[in-house]
């Protein structure tokens, strides 16, 4: 069944959106399986992304987990950063091999600072840019807040990790106080127990957020492995469930590619017959050229075509061409080619010798 890949920087609301999509599909009676970092590591650990070796192992484990779960019955949702386009291409190849549709959901958190990440498909607005990270305060007057909630309806300032500048909150007439980026705690508490279950509990240090932002490769709908692409800016924007359903259950699966197709079955004696036929052609050629003169057409055993004789050939030269032909044929074994092996080898010799 289809594969849904979520992409975005930490604290962009991916897990919240994953749960929203999972609940919507489960309400329709569909089986949904979610693969995330915690499911692979046992517990979410942000330090993995600070170590290239551990991060590479994590990507391999996520890819293997998705490959095991891809089937014709379940919808698989991958909840991770997925910020490398090469890894997204690997996931596209997995879906292509399984002949199942795929879509990408890109989650971005809107901010109030200049110089944020640019999102494809979002209209430029000088008052609405995308910040690298966002961490709302956990407590305001003794009341816990959900991720993305506003404090008393006022805009909050967030710290841009890229330029490391903290801008103050715009003061109001009733409350002329200044809010700095240091007011945001490391651990975010949710407004309810239900939403708390879907909020990332891992803490990403500012240095790690900066590194992730610098090496983040944003999805581009012009790439076939990044489409169909759904970009969600902020948690207030509704999830396009109708469009996602259409992409998953109404679109055709990506066409099979040679790299993802299973090789045709070959008989157990294919290599033996290949070796035997090519040996007979070489033996017949060595015997025929003893009495041939340049310009003659040689008739070799097992073939229906002729080989034009131009010069004497050595066994070393013919053996080298035979090895090349066998190596190429072993890469594309097919029982349908068995009756034509001798003619195919003769054509290969003719093209290689002239």
Q: What is the DSSP letter of 89?
A: H
Q: In the structure, what pLDDT confidence band is assigned to residue 154 with cuts at 50, 70 and 90?
A: very low
Give 25-54 pLDDT, tens digit per residue: 999 999 999 999 988 888 888 889 999 999
DSSP per residue over 90-145, as a string?
A: HHHHHHHHHT--EEEEEEE-EESSSS----TTPPP-TT-EE-S-----SEETTEE-
Q: What is the mean pLDDT of residues 207-211?
A: 92
Q: What is the mean pLDDT of residues 97-124?
A: 66
Contact 171, 178 (CB under 8 A): yes
Q: In the structure, what pLDDT confidence band is assigned to residue 10 with cuts at 50, 70 and 90?
A: very high
On the question of pLDDT at 328 being above 90, the answer is no
More confident: 273 or 136: 273
List CB contacts of 230: < 8 A, sequence separation 6 or more.
Answer: 103, 104, 105, 106, 240, 243, 244, 247
Length of the chain: 354
CA dist 179 and 169 (Å) reads: 5
Biggest alpha carbon–alpha carbon distance for the chain: 110
CA dist 321 and 234 (Å) reads: 63
Q: What is the mean pLDDT of residues 10-36?
A: 93
The gap from C-alpha 88 to its chain's centroid, in whole angstroms, comes to 2
On the question of pLDDT at 211 being above 60, the answer is yes
Contact 216, 204 (CB under 8 A): no
- The percentage of residues in the chain with a pLDDT greater than 70, rounded to a whole number, is 69
Q: In the structure, what pLDDT confidence band is assigned to residue 173 with cuts at 50, 70 and 90?
A: very low
Give 63-83 pLDDT, tens digit per residue: 999 999 988 778 999 999 999
On the question of pLDDT at 102 being above 80, the answer is yes
On the question of pLDDT at 337 being above 80, the answer is no
Average pLDDT, the chain: 75
Residue 285: closest CA among 323, 314, 328: 314
**CA Rg, the chain, in Å?**
31
- Token representation of residue 136: 């709302």
**Residue 38 zone, left/alpha/beta (φ > 0; ψ -120 to 50; rest):** alpha
More confident: 111 or 138: 111
On the question of pLDDT at 152 being above 60, the answer is no
């Amino acid at each position: 069944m289809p594969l849904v890949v979520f992409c975005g920087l930490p604290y962009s609301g991916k897990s919240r959106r994953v749960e929203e999509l999972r609940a919507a599909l489960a309400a329709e009676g569909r089986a949904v399986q979610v693969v995330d970092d915690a499911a692979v590591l046992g517990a979410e650990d942000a330090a993995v992304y600070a170590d290239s070796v551990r991060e590479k192992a994590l990507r391999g484990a996520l890819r293997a987990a998705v490959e095991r779960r891809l089937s014709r019955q379940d919808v698989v949702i991958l909840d991770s950063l997925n910020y490398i386009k090469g890894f997204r291409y690997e996931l596209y190849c997995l879906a292509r091999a399984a002949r199942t549709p795929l879509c990408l959901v890109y989650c971005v958190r809107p901010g109030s600072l200049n110089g944020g990440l640019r999102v494809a498909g979002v209209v430029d607005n000088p008052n609405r840019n995308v910040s690298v990270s966002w961490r709302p305060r956990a407590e305001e007057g003794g009341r816990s807040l959900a991720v993305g909630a506003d404090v008393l309806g006022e805009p909050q300032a967030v710290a841009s990790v890229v330029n490391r500048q903290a801008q103050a909150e715009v003061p109001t007439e009733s409350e002329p106080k200044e809010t700095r980026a240091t007011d945001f705690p490391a651990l975010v508490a949710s407004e309810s127990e239900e939403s708390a279950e879907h909020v990332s509990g891992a803490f990403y240090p500012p240095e790690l957020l900066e590194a992730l932002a610098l090496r983040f490769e944003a999805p581009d709908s012009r790439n076939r492995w990044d489409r169909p692409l759904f970009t969600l800016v902020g948690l207030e924007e509704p999830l396009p469930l109708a469009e996602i359903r259409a992409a998953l259950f109404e679109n055709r699966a990506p066409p099979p590619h040679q790299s993802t197709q299973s090789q045709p079955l070959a008989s157990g004696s294919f290599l033996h017959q290949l070796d035997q036929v090519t040996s007979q052609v070489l033996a017949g050629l060595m015997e025929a050229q003893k009495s041939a003169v340049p310009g003659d057409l040689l008739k070799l055993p097992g073939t229906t075509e002729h080989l034009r004789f131009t010069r004497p050939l050595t066994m070393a030269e013919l053996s080298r061409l035979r090895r090349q032909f066998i190596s190429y044929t072993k890469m594309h074994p097919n029982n349908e080619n068995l009756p034509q092996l001798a003619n195919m080898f003769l054509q290969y010799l003719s093209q290689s010798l002239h």
